[in-house]
Amino acid sequence: MVDNNSKRTASDVLRDLSEFFTGPLPDVEKLSAAEIDAFLRKRSIDSKKSFLAVQDLIDEEIASAELRVAKEERKARLREVEAVTPAREGIRQSIGSLLATLNPSVQTAYWSKFESLPDADLESLYEDIVLLKKRTEERDQSGNA
């Protein structure tokens, strides 16, 4: 013979205890919004605060997901740049060649940076120029499509 108590779950026990102390739970699907608010207020539950707390959690999760995606995209772009970054000794010539392909106003801004940078910072400048050129090409292609 199966004992009926063995089929009960923890949620069944909690529901029974709640009903014992607060009375039977109403059928929420049949209640209006005002009735639900009154039911919650009677139990000192602020539905607006609860709703805002849930919204905050959702916003935090969305922001975290967007940050994860942005980090992955950045890593992917950096891997692309690293794959084409020239050896340190040829980097000045490579930057000069890249600068020659850019828009003259952009070229001027990067040229002054290029001339004043120490060798240790040239790879970063090269990566910036490669990404700029790639974005410009992508924008031009999408504009022509």
What kind and span of H or E run contains 108? helix 104-116
Distances (CA, A) of 23 to 16, 31, 38, 42: 9, 16, 15, 12
* Residue 15 pLDDT exceeds 50: yes
The answer to whether 34 and 40 are in contact (CB under 8 A) is no
Mean pLDDT, the chain, integer: 81
Q: What is the mean pLDDT of residues 129-133?
A: 85
Quote the tokens at residue 142. Answer: 């999408």
Q: What is the mean pLDDT of residues 72-89?
A: 74
Most confident of 11-25, 29-43, 58-72: 58-72
Check residues 55 and 23 and name the one with the higher pLDDT: 55
Output the pLDDT for position 121.
Answer: 81
Q: What is the mean pLDDT of residues 66-91?
A: 79
The answer to whether 101 and 110 are in contact (CB under 8 A) is no
The answer to whether 106 and 132 are in contact (CB under 8 A) is yes
d(CA 87, CA 92): 10
Helix (H, G, I), strand (E, B) or coil at 86: coil
Share of the chain above pLDDT 70, in %: 86
Domain ranges for the chain, please list them: 10-45, 85-145
Q: What is the mean pLDDT of residues 90-98?
A: 82
Q: What is the mean pLDDT of residues 61-76?
A: 93
Output the pLDDT for position 59.
Answer: 95
Output the pLDDT for position 93.
Answer: 82
* Residue 91 pLDDT exceeds 50: yes
Q: Which amino acid is at 29?
A: E
